[in-house]
Structure 1
Amino acid sequence: MTSTLSLQLAEFVETTLWADIPANVRHEARRALLNYFAVSLAGCSDPDVIKAATLFARFNAGGNAHVIGRDETMDMLNAASLNAMSANVFDYDDTHMPTILHPTAPVAAALFALAESRVISGEQLLLAFVLGVEVECRLAMAISPEHYRRGWHITATCGVFGAAAAVGKVLGLSATQLVWAFGSASAQASGLVETLGSAAKSVGVGNAARNGVLSALLAQDGFAGPDQPLEGERGFLRVFGEQPRFDEISAGLGERWALLANTYKPWPCGVVLNPVIEACLHVSRERDWALDDITRIELTGHPLLRQRTDRPDIQRGRQSQVSAQHAVSVSLARGKAGLAEFSDAAVSDPNLRALYARLHFIDDACYRVESVQVRICFHNREPLTHVIDVSLGSLGAPLSDRFLEDKVRELATFGGSGCTPEPLIEAVWALEQSIDAGALMRLASR
């Protein structure tokens, strides 16, 4: 195979060693996995995840791969899909800020499913995880923001490549085999933004994990693909992007790491709503006004805020996770914004819905995605204004390790998983020294 961009990326995956990974990237990998288990434990009892698990059981090929927060085991492909869906269903997963891709769910779900079919050390899994995230995020960088703007759900479309690369690394695939895996992944890359606010969104993320595993296993068995699945004339980058920037894939490989641009959410909603919620919670803390007194609520922020979250006609909790109207109303009214505040019951609250129509967006491209100004006007008093320059959970104000640990504790209880969080938390931090990475799945199951 002649040298191509696809082969260059594959050679990077094949040859990179754990010793090549900087200490801060290693630590961020563990933080990402801690957040992954937290949000998966929250989603394990979601009604739509239960429906999927019940259906998948009918086609279960048998196996010992655990489903997070549940008591059944499944074959590798079904377990990978379900665990990625569970991590993504509440929009509580991590976010690679340059692309708004949620990188961990498809890659971690694929790797842990594999880790229960063979003994994989913690160091092996962490290395493969770092490389899988690197692959999917670099592909996303090459086609962002046009790719998302055209309606492709970037976590699903790029996540399948990250999962394939990560599993391929653990399987010891050659660079040529990894290119074949990218070819099979490219044939299965799909997911639409139109599905956001519905359970169908998580099907795409689940498929990214499942199909990434499948692509790597096929390549291991000699299932060939095109020489240029990424950059070819009709390859992934040119078909899914408008003017792909190939240098985003090749420049700085091994020097610039995608995980260092990864963030974690303090609230279960679209990432652009984080500063909105933070501002509204601040305003609500010393409330000496009634909701009925509000005449107008103005959100001034990046145009992406309106484009992604102007949803006043929602009917379900799933939709509320990407609705500014709901996020503002529930944060002001209840002074909190946990999973219970983004439920079907919260959406049906008439006191909250009465505020939806009073919300108005003001687009200002000078604002960053992690900043916002909230201005609340009243009948008989001066307006209240609060500005968030750098929202909690962003790169400028990252969540602490302790915050992520508490997130595991809280969401393990919320999801009714039966999982005891402390041993799981300790095992994630100690994963680098583990001789059996699959043991984490047994700690995370019911």
Structure 2
Amino acid sequence: MTHALSHPLAEFIETTAWSDIPSTVRHEAKRALVNYFAVCLAGCSDPDVVKAVKLFSRFNAGGQARVAGRSESMDMLNAASLNAMSANVFDYDDTHIPTILHPTAPVAAALFALAQTRAVSGEQLLLALVLGVEVECRLAMAISPEHYRRGWHITSTCGVFGAAAAVGKVLGLSAEQLVWAFGNASAQACGLVETLGSAAKSIGVGNAARNGLLSALLALDGFAGPDQPLEGERGFLNVFGEQPRLAEVTSGLGEHWALLANTYKPYPCGVVLNPVIQACLELSRDRSWTLDDILRIELTGHPLLRQRTDRPDIVLGRQSQVSAQHAVAVSLATGRAGLAEFSDAAVADQRLRLLYDRLQFIDDPDYAVESAQVRIFFKSRETLSRTIDVSLGSLDAPLSDQFLENKLRELAAYGRSGCEPQPLLDALWTLEHSTDAGAVMRLASL
């Protein structure tokens, strides 16, 4: 039988060493972890995360692994799930372009859970992170955008493979065992776009971390899967994709790195809203007009903008993170776009809700996802317009290391995590020199 895809990918994971990773990719891995811990610490006290912690504690099989920003310790599987959920709950995590997959949460959560149960160096963990992100993003590239359009939540469905690959690398799995891990992961790949705007969305991301970890551990113990779990006639790519582009998975392996197409959010919302919010914040600066004078607001952008964010009937802060109506209203009204502006209280503000129905979408496929135009038409003054060609946080306007550090400091405080940011930041920037990667999670917990 010809092993066209699963085995070459597994062999790449097995044989790739830290010395094979370019310096730019190494640094991006650390940036991804700074952002990961920032959003983890923001979400650690979210009411839905707290509910999950209490429930999971009833089924806890041990206390080997900690939960970021909290005092509880869990078994590996529960810790991996909770830390991925916490990182994803506010939609503030990283985004791979163009798949819109959030790659770090499922992979990092699984790796740090494992690293607290055995000796794992910082170099080992970073290498595994790079490879896990590579796997999930390449699978996503093969089935995007049809996969997401059909309603599959790509972070959950592909993230489980990234977690399995990363953990498998740390465990020293052979190529054959890694293929088994892929097979185990394929049996657990799930997550629906319908859950966006609800707490249920983060269950899928938590399961990706948990089940990816489980998949690799089972493979280590000889739990075998199919020979072609990815490319088989009824394998993951053919079932979850409409016309999968299999070459995306293995073409240029070791030459083109997915982490270099990773971006970080300046605002806690769906990534397609970044240019919209930026335009509104600029329009709200030195404001000499009132909200009552607004007749209508035209929002021009890629058709994906309307598809993902035309949500005027929201009732929860979680829903507001994927609502253009709310994002426009709150950023114009307050001149801010932090977590407080996407809360239940903000959504309940009737002054903002009056603006929701005044928003009109204009689809323009010539716009890139990271660009948008906002035009405000008034009753008694001239129209104002702002166009963002490249939004802050996109590949062409990346957030600086300092911005990410400040994000971690701000979100650690917002989440009432009790974490001291500077020791954690120091440990993350120097992680490749550490002999104990698990120590990072101890710095991030109580």
The aligned residue for residue 401 of structure 1 is 401
CA distance in 1, matches of 2:53, 2:256: 38
SS in 2 for 1:224: coil
The aligned residue for residue 147 of structure 1 is 147
CA distance in 1, matches of 2:72, 2:208: 22
CA distance in 2, matches of 1:374, 1:43: 31
CA distance in 2, matches of 1:129, 1:389: 31
Structure 1 residue 188 displacement after superposition: 0.1
CA distance in 1, matches of 2:131, 2:97: 18
Q: Work out whether 1:191 is the aligned partner of 2:206.
A: no
* Bigger mean CA deviation after superposition, 280-289 or 2-11: 2-11
The aligned residue for residue 354 of structure 1 is 354
Q: Deviations over 1:399-433 (max 9, x none)?
A: 00000000010000000000000000000000000
AA aligned to 1:239 is V
CA distance in 1, matches of 2:64, 2:164: 21
Structure 1 residue 71 displacement after superposition: 0.3
Conserved 8 A contact 2:3-2:228: no
SS in 2 for 1:376: strand
SS in 2 for 1:210: helix
The aligned residue for residue 156 of structure 1 is 156
Structure 1 residue 2 displacement after superposition: 5.2
AA aligned to 1:424 is L
The within-5 A match list for 1:23-422 is 23-422=23-422
CA distance in 1, matches of 2:369, 2:430: 34
SS in 2 for 1:313: coil
SS in 1 for 2:297: strand
SS in 2 for 1:362: strand
CA distance in 2, matches of 1:322, 1:271: 9
AA aligned to 2:52 is A
Structure 1 residue 64 displacement after superposition: 1.7
AA aligned to 1:408 is L
Structure 1 residue 63 displacement after superposition: 2.4
Structure 1 residue 3 displacement after superposition: 3.1
CA distance in 2, matches of 1:3, 1:305: 39
SS in 1 for 2:432: helix
Flag structure 2 segments of 5+ consecutive residues without an equivalent: none
AA aligned to 2:399 is L
CA distance in 2, matches of 1:435, 1:181: 26
Conserved 8 A contact 2:151-2:192: yes
CA distance in 2, matches of 1:246, 1:85: 30
SS in 2 for 1:260: helix
Q: Deviations over 1:262-320 (max 9, x none)?
A: 00000000000000000000000110011000000000000000000000000000000
Q: Deviations over 1:231-257 (max 9, x none)?
A: 000000000000000100110000000
CA distance in 2, matches of 1:188, 1:324: 32
Identical-residue share of aligned pairs (%): 80
Conserved 8 A contact 2:92-2:267: yes
CA distance in 2, matches of 1:30, 1:318: 28
CA distance in 2, matches of 1:53, 1:182: 28
CA distance in 2, matches of 1:275, 1:97: 15
> TM-score w.r.t. structure 1 length?
1.00
Structure 1 residue 98 displacement after superposition: 1.3
Flag structure 1 segments of 5+ consecutive residues without an equivalent: none
CA distance in 2, matches of 1:406, 1:427: 16
CA distance in 1, matches of 2:370, 2:222: 45
Q: Deviations over 1:126-166 (max 9, x none)?
A: 00000000000000000000000000000000000000000
Structure 1 residue 4 displacement after superposition: 3.1
AA aligned to 1:282 is E
AA aligned to 2:386 is H
CA distance in 2, matches of 1:135, 1:440: 24
Structure 1 residue 218 displacement after superposition: 0.3
> TM-score w.r.t. structure 2 length?
1.00
The aligned residue for residue 7 of structure 1 is 7
AA aligned to 2:438 is G
AA aligned to 1:283 is L
AA aligned to 1:129 is L
SS in 2 for 1:386: strand
